[in-house]
Structure 1
């Protein structure tokens, strides 16, 4: 089969499927990163990025993984005080570990995997202790849990010193997110998730409070200096050589995203989530015994973590699906044997998802 014939079968929760036209855009000839070509390229990219984040502020484009911008968040956003890390899975835990690795005093507020944090309890914690920053993962890729970013942002805004630093790696581009309206101080995502690009780029928006914190930061390093990244970005430049081929792909993809429109994109992700839930119900009506790991009412529209019948057998299921020519994700970390994950994000459609669900149904027999 050609790549085009197999398109629509890759449902990992990252990296996700990349459209053939977007992949092909990377083959354009190279340009200098200080000439007029790069300026035009970045000008073409800007409207789509702002639409994805729902912002009028500059969108930082970093040649790095999203984990790099998680480090940028704590290096620029913590001024020597404590960090409150909201941990409910593997990647929110990574955020706290990054803060600790950067030398910060971190208080981990852990809830069970698959659960989310209470905004009311967060308000109580912030009232009892002073924190420089709060970290969280909006969409926890390991469990499929979705935090209430709007409510949490509202709570943190009531505390002048605390900045809200958000990993939205499987959020932005798929889960409805309104950066300017909700007001997180730093929100980041990666190219390889709901944005549906190859890995290697990361994007973020910083509030004015975050930028002021960055201007006064003493140990922010050089590569992830937000002041420099924003100042260069406003001129459609970058501090260091960017991944030009990936920027070509980004240009092609934001054109596709703008053509669809963000409201339609968000709805398509919700439709895929709902179809996944319906399929689980259908399988259970047939006596299979599947479940959704994340708490009801707090489930991400981009990734569903499905519990296995009997709580075991995920690796074998993933192999059977792959042998049929499709790809899903296994469980992550301590959930590796008991769950599998469907990354219904990016440019996938309900029709493509139905094809996958038929394959999984056969593999479960």
Structure 2
């Protein structure tokens, strides 16, 4: 790997940063006096966040950020906002931007710029200002910086106040010359250009004949993909869809059983409590496969009316055998409800014998979030004891369109489903291939994958990091290098886990670059 980037937090990083600072602002630009130690400590060193550029484990460049006001530029020219027509709401100042002489050919600078942009988005900054040396104005222009005030400083060390925003970076040479950011998140998913274009179309009324035809087509697509008998689309998230399922379970009555083996199955218990449902929990260790024998024993221990479970537990990547569990329930006249938010669109599913299944328009269906989907086996009548928005009978009564709906979200889902249904088996095979390659690669690096292959959803991998390697730090560093991974949820940080979603179908090149980057950041080999 030519260059890679990370946050500077190791003890040995500090001295190298001071050395680079000295070379740049004492030897190259005579802004400070020389000293025997050949170290230059920035006055705001303790407040700075440093992004460092490495080659073969040696720091060859760095960028220092500071968000506290006043900026050094504020002190030189007054508040920067007074010079700007478009005033940033949350700016950050680049205190230092230095690359060692032997590596000043552009690539290291451009990689630092990508790291800066990704970090600013992550931290909530909307613009970066810098005092750019007049010696490198062309380079700053290539990186997306624009001057906004008169030069400051001395003749020997003259600087131009400059600013970069996300908009200017998008038009820059730096943006064109670095690899695009890779989305390894389970949500929001990678959105195809055709889906983006569909979403951008002009909105039209949900009461129009055009919308009714579109809506009927989308419902048919969803039924074709899943084998369900009915489906309702609710404007909301998977949480809303699960509330609608809980409302239906409340009509069944009796005692239920909830399989709990992760964050999202724990949330099913919360849904059930809020609807006053009587239920037991069959608890498994997070990341463990469900024992079918144990489930059968629990179902036979007393009379249950319904079972609720998560098909793919997103927090761990474990995938339950839906067909086998459904057969167990059917043999005992137990109704079954399943949260399939991370399985629909990533693995083949068949809801023909499933009473209720929930999912979403994002994740495996690769469209925008905003639709909660509820599949059901039987027709449902309206029930006035259920809140209107959660009453699936109301949706059924009005052919799925009882309330205001967004045509843009439905049009986008229609396009994404068209893409998937062209060859769903090819999509499933590609996701499986990506899972196999990444699983093999990370295990070669000594990283454990939580869910065993035989019970794992190929769409999401959970990495169990050793205690000395922080999942948050690794996720931050991967982001600087252009990989968005899933690590910020509290349930992941508490366990030092990091997740990558192969449901986004990364290219072979993106996977190999990721594995090489992981090797560098983990210090393997």
The verdict on a shared fold, with TM-score over 0.5 as the criterion, is: yes
1:362 equivalenced with 2:524 (yes/no): no
Structure with greater proportional strand content: 2
CA shift, 1:280, in A, is 1.7
- For 2:357, what is the secondary structure of its paired residue? strand
Counterpart of 1:75 in structure 2 is: 247
1:318 equivalenced with 2:475 (yes/no): yes
- For 1:24, what is the secondary structure of its paired residue? helix
1:350–1:101 distance in 2 versus 1, CA, 3 Å? farther
Counterpart of 1:173 in structure 2 is: 345
Counterpart of 2:434 in structure 1 is: 272
CA shift, 1:152, in A, is 0.5
Q: Which runs of 5+ in 1 are unaligned?
A: 284-288
Report if the CA contact (8 A) 1:305-1:331 is conserved.
no
CA distance in structure 1 between the partners assigned to 2:187 and 2:414 by the alignment: 20
Counterpart of 1:153 in structure 2 is: 326
| Cα deviation digits, residues 221-255 of structure 1 (max 9, x gap) | 2112122223333xxx4111112211121121111
CA shift, 1:200, in A, is 0.7
1:150–1:222 distance in 2 versus 1, CA, 3 Å? same
- For 2:324, what is the secondary structure of its paired residue? helix
1:308 equivalenced with 2:465 (yes/no): yes
1:59 equivalenced with 2:231 (yes/no): yes
1:44–1:127 distance in 2 versus 1, CA, 3 Å? same
Report if the CA contact (8 A) 2:247-2:275 is conserved.
yes
- Structure 1 residue runs of 4 or more that deviate by more than 6 Å after TM superposition: 2-6
Counterpart of 1:246 in structure 2 is: 409
TM-score (ref. length: structure 1): 0.88
1:112–1:158 distance in 2 versus 1, CA, 3 Å? same
1:32–1:334 distance in 2 versus 1, CA, 3 Å? closer
| Cα deviation digits, residues 185-239 of structure 1 (max 9, x gap) | 111111121111111112221012xx4xx54867432112122223333xxx411
Q: Which runs of 5+ in 2 are unaligned?
A: 1-169
1:217–1:111 distance in 2 versus 1, CA, 3 Å? farther
Q: Choose between structure 1 and 2 for higher RCO, CA contacts under 8 A separated by at least 6 residues.
A: 1
CA shift, 1:297, in A, is 1.5
Higher Cα radius of gyration: 2
TM-score (ref. length: structure 2): 0.62
- For 1:103, what is the secondary structure of its paired residue? coil
CA distance in structure 1 between the partners assigned to 2:208 and 2:376 by the alignment: 27
